[in-house]
Structure 1
Amino acid sequence: MPERQVSQVSPDPTALKALAHPVRLRMLGLLRVDGPATASGLAARLGLNSGATSYHLRQLALHGFIEEAVGQGNRRDRWWRARHEVTSFLGEHVEGEALDAGLAFQQAALHWQMAQMQAAHDGYARLPTAWRKASSVSDYTIAMTPEAAAALIEQIQALMAQALASAPPLGTPLPPDHRPFSIILNAAPLATEQTEPDQP
């Protein structure tokens, strides 16, 4: 399959704060992965009432994360779709309000990622052999300089971006042998319980 353009958004701090709400983050994820949905459909999946769901959808639309799916539904039953496939945030030079908003969003995303990893663990025994072979729970700790670590992350992200651009877009009917496959990357200097020695 030829590579396609992957749509991406880099929200400003105000929009990122709005997205950091855990319910909105889950809604956007569902719209990205499963495709367009109505407020009532999302409410049923998330265990919310339709009023609260509609409010969160309006907030996502206000900040440009979703839009009405033109040609689907009617005046009573509006369908919504995600506008972008990827959210970019928390660059290395951000400070102040942008840093605070990025960290709040990262905390919400981390909470969702941990839930996803636990769900994958819980469902492993039910996976077909081929998907068990493709699954992994791995961690690597390597002594590196900041420059070498940044270069490694850039290589990994470039590989992920290429795989994403070569894959069928999520939220559309997938070929029979395809399913959404989640790869969660968490990279940072190792946090330990050791305290730093007193400086002279």
Structure 2
Amino acid sequence: MKHGTEDTNPPPQAKASRTVDPRSLRALAHPLRMRILDELKDQGPATSARLADRLGENTGTVSWHLRHLAEHGYIEEETGRGTKRERWWRVTEGTLVFNTSELTIDPQTREALSSYKQHYLERSFQRAARALSVPATGAWVGTGNMSDWGDVRMTPEQLRALGAELLEVIGRHVPAPDAPVPPDAQPVLIQFQTLPMLPATSKENPAP
């Protein structure tokens, strides 16, 4: 599962996509559940006991949250592994797509979306910091890029078009999931944000 975008366009080369509805968003936007998802995505399948040990939580509590995540399709049991008393869980394949216009109608859902975004942004920064902590060597020197345009003024239509075009460009360069992996290929982190910098008191778009 790839944690995706704030519009209806899934990231490039996604195997499948799922638009998150208000009910499943409210089930996802819980700090421990998002940590569980992160752990399963980063470390692979695990049991509730293993997750509880890694996260410093009670096994019963983790099991309860796992059931909720499974109920809403975020995770699934890895069949053919473990026993009836020891179930292994993995992240469901596919990409989560967030349609902001449908998730900002009522205050409860808008708050859940804001909580999810905050966690997503913090995680993105952490991943970028880890990447920068290891100096590039050899042919990788100078291949990365960090840019910031904080003084650009656009209309909503222009910003939406920019985001869509950037996704198309990335899609032309990201190999398909089933494509052969060259021997010199390494994991690459691709991030970009196109966010309107609205005044805090703006009522036009309370959750960009």
In the alignment, which of 65, 82, 106 is matched to residue 91 of structure 2?
82
Task: Name the count of aligned residue pairs.
Answer: 187
- 1:87-106 matches, cutoff 5 A: 87-92=96-101, 95-97=104-106, 100-106=108-114
The equivalent of 1:186 in structure 2 is 193
Question: Deviation of residue 84 (structure 1)?
Answer: 3.2
1:69 corresponds to: 78
In structure 2, C-alpha distance between the alignment counterparts of 1:176 and 1:72, rounded to whole Å: 33
Instruction: Return the structure number with greater helix share.
Output: 1
- State yes or no: 1:42 paired with 2:51: yes
Q: 2:34 aligns with which of 25, 28, 35?
A: 25
Cα shift at 1:24? 1.0
So what's the TM-score if we normalise by structure 2?
0.71
CA contact (8 A) 1:37 1:81 kept: yes
* Aligned counterpart in structure 2 of residue 15 of structure 1, from 24, 48, 51: 24
The partner residue of 1:140 within 140, 149, 152 is 149
Unmatched 5+ residue regions in structure 1? 170-174, 196-200
Does the CA-based 8 Å contact 1:65-1:82 persist in structure 2? Answer: yes
Between the aligned partners of 1:15 and 1:58, the Cα distance in structure 2 is 13
Counterpart Cα distance in 2 of 1:163 and 1:116: 21
User: C-alpha separation between the residues in 2 aligned to 1:72 and 1:163?
Assistant: 36
The 1-side partners of 2:166 and 2:132 are apart by 25
Aligned-residue offset at 1:96: 2.5
Q: 1:6 aligned to 2:15?
A: yes
Structure 2 unaligned blocks of 5 or more:
1-11, 203-208
Please list the CA deviations of residues 23-78 of structure 1 after superposition, one character each: whole Å capped at 9, or x if unmatched: 11122233234432221222222222222111111110111111101112222221
Distance 1:79 1:127 in 2: 36
8 Å Cα contact 2:13-2:171 kept in structure 1: no
